[in-house]
């Protein structure tokens, strides 16, 4: 939130060559508003995954429920982590965003 207030970035951008919408800013040091919001949501999802993993340790006598909680927590943590790594890879130019062949 402080970044959005201080830097006043644009909500989303467009590719200058094709005119298609860009959701991830191509520079590592700047971000669109939508990108910041998505990154915040992904960090929240990962945090919830770790909290659920912690909660699974409290159900040692109900093993099936503990395993379900553990699985849900690991899946949430991995979804958040992999998605954030994808955003970083796009920002570094390792993965190109919006590549379509017509």
Per-residue model confidence (pLDDT) at position 98: 62
Per-residue model confidence (pLDDT) at position 95: 79
Can you tell me the distance from the alpha carbon of 78 to that of 71, in angstroms, rounded to the nearest whole number? 11
Q: Which two tokens stand for residue 37?
A: 């919001």
Q: What is the DSSP letter of 22?
A: E
The model carries a pTM of 0.78
Per the CB < 8 A criterion, the answer to whether 65 and 59 are in contact is yes
- Which residues lie across from 13 on neighbouring strands? 22
Per-residue model confidence (pLDDT) at position 25: 76
Taking only the tens of pLDDT, the chain with its 102 residues reads 676 677 777 777 777 677 777 777 777 777 888 888 899 999 999 999 999 999 999 988 999 999 999 999 999 999 999 999 998 998 887 877 665 554
Per-residue model confidence (pLDDT) at position 66: 94
Cα dihedral 38/74/72/50 (nearest 10): -70
Per-residue model confidence (pLDDT) at position 99: 56
Per-residue model confidence (pLDDT) at position 80: 97
């Amino acid at each position: 939130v402080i970044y959005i207030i201080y830097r006043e970035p644009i909500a989303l951008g467009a590719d200058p060559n094709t005119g298609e919408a860009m959701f991830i800013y191509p520079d590592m040091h700047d971000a669109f508003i939508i990108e910041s919001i998505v990154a915040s949501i992904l960090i929240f999802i990962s945090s919830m995954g770790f909290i659920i993993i912690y909660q699974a340790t409290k159900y040692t006598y109900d093993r099936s429920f503990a395993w379900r909680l553990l699985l849900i927590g690991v899946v949430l943590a991995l979804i958040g982590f992999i998605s954030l790594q994808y955003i970083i890879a796009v920002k570094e130019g390792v993965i190109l965003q919006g590549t379509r062949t017509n």
